[in-house]
């Protein structure tokens, strides 16, 4: 995905987004994550265009990605005297993010299996 010429997600990027949604991420968060994983850095406006999301949707997704500590941002002075432009990038490689998601899902599965075992013990008493 080239952010300067980006018109829409490819089939592969849509598939990755769908998998992330299946794993529990919100669709907007997944779209932004997939977009950022394919570029070195991007402004909010680039993310809006590249993900086909509106500004409030991008802001909410960025807030969640910041909470996970998966993104970082810097400010750059714009061409005009207006507000500085924030530039976003992933704070860790996408593989590390996948490893984190995998670990969380394994932890969730262990908890669920422990509850099933407790249920079996409670019923057999």
What would the DSSP string read from start to end of 60-86?
Answer: HHHHHHHHTT-EEEEEE--SSSSPPEE
Say whether both 60 and 105 belong to one domain: no
* pLDDT reported for residue 6: 55
pLDDT (tens digit per residue) in 25-55: 999 999 999 999 999 999 999 999 999 999 9
Give the pLDDT mean for 109-124: 96
Say whether both 77 and 99 belong to one domain: no
Say whether both 45 and 59 belong to one domain: yes
* pLDDT reported for residue 80: 67
* pLDDT reported for residue 1: 42
* pLDDT reported for residue 82: 76
60: domain CATH number? 1.10.10.10
The model carries a pTM of: 0.85
* pLDDT reported for residue 2: 44
Say whether both 35 and 85 belong to one domain: yes
Say whether both 48 and 10 belong to one domain: yes
Say whether both 3 and 23 belong to one domain: yes
Structure tokens at 122: 């409670």
pLDDT (tens digit per residue) in 63-101: 999 999 999 999 887 666 778 889 999 999 999 999 999
Q: Number of structural domains, the chain? A: 2
Half-sphere exposure of 80 (CA within 13 A, CB side): 2
**What's the domain range around 121?**
93-125
Nearest 5°: the CA angle 96, 68, 35 is 65
Say whether both 20 and 61 belong to one domain: yes
Tokens 């409670």 sit on residue: 122
Say whether both 83 and 103 belong to one domain: no
β-pairing verdict for 42-43 and 85-90:
antiparallel
List own/partner pairs for 59-63 with CB under 8 A and 24 or more apart: 60/28, 61/26, 61/28, 61/29, 61/31, 61/32, 62/32, 62/88
The residue that leads in pLDDT, 122 or 3, is: 122
With a cut of 50, say whether residue 3 has pLDDT above it.
no
Say whether both 19 and 58 belong to one domain: yes
């Amino acid at each position: 995905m080239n952010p300067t010429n980006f018109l829409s997600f490819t089939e592969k990027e849509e598939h990755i987004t769908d998998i992330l949604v299946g794993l529990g991420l919100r669709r907007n968060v997944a779209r932004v994550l997939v977009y950022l994983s394919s570029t070195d850095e991007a402004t909010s406006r680039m993310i809006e265009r590249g993900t086909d999301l509106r500004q409030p949707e991008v802001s909410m997704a960025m807030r969640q990605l910041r909470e996970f500590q998966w993104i970082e941002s810097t400010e750059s002075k714009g061409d005009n005297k207006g507000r500085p432009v924030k530039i976003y990038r992933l704070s860790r490689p996408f593989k590390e993010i996948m490893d984190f998601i995998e670990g969380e899902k394994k932890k969730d599965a262990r908890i669920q299996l422990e509850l099933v075992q407790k249920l079996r013990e409670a019923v057999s008493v």
